[in-house]
Amino acid sequence: LLRPGRFDRQVVIDLPDLEGREAILKVHAKKIKLCEDVNLNSLARATAGFSGADLANLLNEGALIAARRRKKVVERIDLDDAREKISFGRERR
């Protein structure tokens, strides 16, 4: 929703490709203790259509899920559950 004169330019930024998603995940994963079973490349493959913000949210949500389960590290199942939660949230928009 834009009013005339409010914004002079609109810049469209495409969603990240596989390499971009993996790079974004690596940046945000530095803050989180991940289990050895977490492969960021396979996670990037499973998140086609996710924005950079979605990917950051995925790792944060995965960490919250792991904490609720009283885990010291984030496992792949936690991230899969977070991905499912985020995907369903995106479908409603």
Range of the domain at 23: 18-92
Residue at 13 is within a domain = no
Residue at 3 is within a domain = no
Residue at 36 is within a domain = yes
Residue at 5 is within a domain = no
Predicted local distance difference test score (pLDDT) of residue 11: 83
Residue at 35 is within a domain = yes
Q: Supply the pTM of this predicted model.
A: 0.83
User: Which CATH number does the domain housing residue 59 bear?
Assistant: 1.10.8.60
CB proximity list for 15: less than 8 A, separation 6 or greater: 49, 50, 51
CB proximity list for 61: less than 8 A, separation 6 or greater: 82, 85, 86
Give residue-wise pLDDT tens across range 45-66: 999 999 999 999 999 999 999 9
Residue at 31 is within a domain = yes
How many domains is the chain partitioned into structurally? 1
Residue at 73 is within a domain = yes
Sign of the four-CA dihedral 35, 39, 47, 2: positive
Please tell me the distance from the alpha carbon of residue 90 to that of residue 7, in angstroms, as a whole number.
26
Residue at 6 is within a domain = no
Cα–Cα separations (whole angstroms), residue 78 to 1, 58, 63, 83, 90: 36, 10, 7, 9, 18
Predicted local distance difference test score (pLDDT) of residue 91: 52
